[in-house]
Amino acid sequence: MDIYAVGISYKTSPVEIREKLALSPEELTKLKNLLSFHIRELAYISTCNRVEFYYWGDEEGIEEIFTFLEEAKGIPKDSFKDYFYIYSSEEAVLHIFRVASSLDSMVLGEPQIVGQFKDAFEDCSKLGITGPIVNNLMSKALAASKRVRTRTGIGESAVSVSYAAVELAVKIFGELDKCTACLIGAGEMAELAARHLKDAGVKRMLVVNRTLERAEKLAEELGGEPLPFNRLNEAITESDIVITSTASQTYILQKEQMNEIMKKRKLKPIFIIDIAVPRDVDPDVEKVENVYLYNIDDLEAVVEENKRKRQKEAQKAEAILKEEVSKFMSWLKSQEIVPVIVSLRNWVEEIRKSELEKTLNRLKLGKKEEKALNAMTNAIVNKIMHPVFVYLKQESVKGDAKTLKETVKAMFALEDEHEDKDRNQR
């Protein structure tokens, strides 16, 4: 038995394949059908970037997953199985820990995967398809993810243009809860930046657009105030942060115009984010005192620098995960001897009870004396067997657990409970 990770992601397959293989809520309930001699415990995670199965079992479980997907989706497995990657043992555990820590994400360090991973674990637990091995695997993956986030800067620094704009605004103004922001135009990135600003606590949002109807609709979505385009100067005068992304072929904001606006503002600082291509704001506007102007190239430069920072932090994260994977693999290796320890414990306990019963039948003691004798024999067995069990666990981690397991079984003529179940399932 071993840990396996079987899946596809944005690295190996197009979205057309991933979306076809993602399970619906109804299909998710059928995952119980996958549990078998080859797949003892199972977890499943699906996001826009990946579809993955994690299981405790043997190699033949891989083909069972492909067959399950073929039947659930009505798609021949030969049409999709080549897109899948397959990891086992330590390599699988490292992959799973990297997924949970967002080191395998399209956007390195993005925080959403942690919540998605946790939700997937909870859903699988409710379905009853996980077990002690997979439960510990998923729990340790989440714990490793938390350690990565608290001990590295993997999730810090904006790596999207829209969020980089927000970071710059915070650097200029500090808290944004007293700021007014103005969105000019309806470009996608500008709109996204405006939403980020709103989430960051911007007090008031003005929306200016050549089509007032569009401004009204967007203002309603943002909880802002719509203004017609002929009130552009007024909107900028009232704003601390301006995001502009129109389809204009000429500048909508020029230096002299900005000089007049700044006089009305009494030179109060203003942050202008020009995400339009071609640009909406004359570059000379930046020469006006207390005007901070950034265009798309400036923001992309910030994003690239932040990505480099995250890559450096990712190296620290990989070292943390290597340590966490090592701990988990040691625990997993120790579990190989557990069934034999259970069998040995049960065997010794049967002998104790049998001999105790013979003795009690001969002595005809009272209840109090019988209870004391039972406690004494139990304590003797525990004290004798405890160092044996500790030794077996330690040696199973350090050496060949399989050989040790077979040696102990041969010495005491034991059969562990899992083997009995295996035979029943065959």
Q: Active-site positions?
A: 48
Q: Where does residue 190 rank: exposed (0-12), middle (13-18), buried (19+ CB within 10 A)?
A: buried
Q: Is 403 helix (H, G, I), strand (E, B) or coil?
A: helix
The whole-angstrom separation of Cα 354 and Cα 342 is 18
SS3 call for 415: coil
Contacts 24+ apart (CB under 8 A), 62-68: 62/4, 62/6, 62/86, 64/34, 64/36, 64/38, 64/39, 65/6, 65/34, 65/39, 68/30, 68/33, 68/34
Question: What one-character DSSP code corresponds to residue 23?
Answer: P
Other C-beta atoms lying within 10 Å of the C-beta of residue 273: 32
Distance CA 202, CA 243 (A): 13
The dihedral through the CA atoms of 287, 291, 296, 300 has a sign that is positive
From 104, 240, 122, select the one nearest 181 (Cα to Cα).
Answer: 240
* C-alpha pair distances (Å), 223 with each of 188, 205, 272, 337: 17, 7, 21, 61
Q: Which residues pair with 204 in a beta bridge?
A: 180
Spatial neighbors of 80 by CB under 8 A, at least 6 apart, are 8, 13, 17, 20, 21, 69
Residue 336 phi/psi, 5-degree rounding, is: -65, -30
Dihedral of alpha carbons 86, 89, 95, 101, sign:
positive
